[in-house]
C-alpha cells in the first residue's frame, strides 16, 4: 500500500456501499442459505461488515 491509499489517520481508505447494494447482498446471503463468512468472502468483504448490514428494505 502506498501513501495515496491511506487517509489522514494512516489507515486504509474506507469502502462505502449504497443501501441498495447492501440490501441485495443481504438478500443473497439469506436466499442462498450459505454461511455469512462464505458469502462475504465471495464478495470480497469481511463477515463482520455483512453481519452489520440490516436485513430490512432500503429506505
Q: Which residues contact 3 (CB under 8 A, 6 or more apart)?
A: none
- pLDDT tens digits for 19-35? 888 888 888 888 887 88
The pTM for the full model equals 0.57
Instruction: Please say if the pLDDT value at position 55 is more than 80.
Output: no
Using DSSP, state whether 12 is helix, strand or coil: strand
Segments making up each domain of the chain, as ranges: 17-52
CA atoms within 13 A on the CB side of 52: 6
The least confident of 8-17, 35-44, 49-58 is: 8-17
Amino acid at each position: 500500500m502506498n501513501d495515496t491509499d491511506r487517509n489522514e489517520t494512516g489507515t486504509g481508505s474506507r469502502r462505502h456501499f449504497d443501501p441498495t447494494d447492501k440490501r441485495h447482498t443481504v438478500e443473497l446471503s439469506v436466499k442462498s442459505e450459505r454461511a455469512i463468512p462464505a458469502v462475504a468472502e465471495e464478495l470480497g468483504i469481511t463477515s463482520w461488515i455483512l453481519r452489520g448490514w440490516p436485513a430490512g428494505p432500503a429506505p
